[in-house]
Amino acid sequence: MHDFMLIAKALADKNRVRALLALRGRELCVCQIIALLDLAPSTVSKHMSILKNGRLVECRKQGRWNYYRIDGENAPAAAKEAVAWVSKSLSKCPEINEDRKRLREILKIDPEKLCHRMA
């Protein structure tokens, strides 16, 4: 029950779902997520913390920067199933498709430059 409630909380916010779906198949620096969501760094950090608590994403720190990816082998089965369900359910969502396009542009920016702009 505990894992379920943490996953439900993590998926209960549109921006957390957008961040989660942006991580499909890749790792992103928190600065790239901030640029995508166009939210304050503290807000994005809180969202990512909630996703991490739900064991939907994992984080690694490299120097000053945090990098996130969808939790793979360490995630409980319920978290893996939730990510698959969200991905399938929103595969044709116009807002998610816009995020994909925007993320392609963000990924063209040198991460060092992007992160220093955010600092």
* pLDDT at residue 72, as a whole number: 81
* pLDDT at residue 119, as a whole number: 60
- What average pLDDT does the chain have? 93
Q: What CATH number has the domain bearing residue 110? A: 1.10.10.10
Residues 6 or more apart whose Cβ sits within 8 Å of residue 51: 10, 16, 19, 20, 57, 68
In three-state secondary structure terms, 93 is: coil
Span 48-76, pLDDT tens digits: 999 999 999 999 998 888 999 998 888 88
* pLDDT at residue 15, as a whole number: 98
Range of the domain at 53: 2-118
The rounded distance, in Å, linking the Cα atoms of 63 and 6 is 29
Q: DSSP secondary structure string, 2-61?
A: HHHHHHHHHTTSHHHHHHHHHTTTS-EEHHHHHHHHT--HHHHHHHHHHHHHTTSEEEEE
**Predicted model pTM:** 0.93
Structure letter (DSSP) for residue 115: H
Task: Determine whether 113 is exposed, middle or buried from the number of CB atoms within 10 Å of its CB (0-12, 13-18, 19+).
Answer: exposed
- The total of structural domains in the chain comes to 1
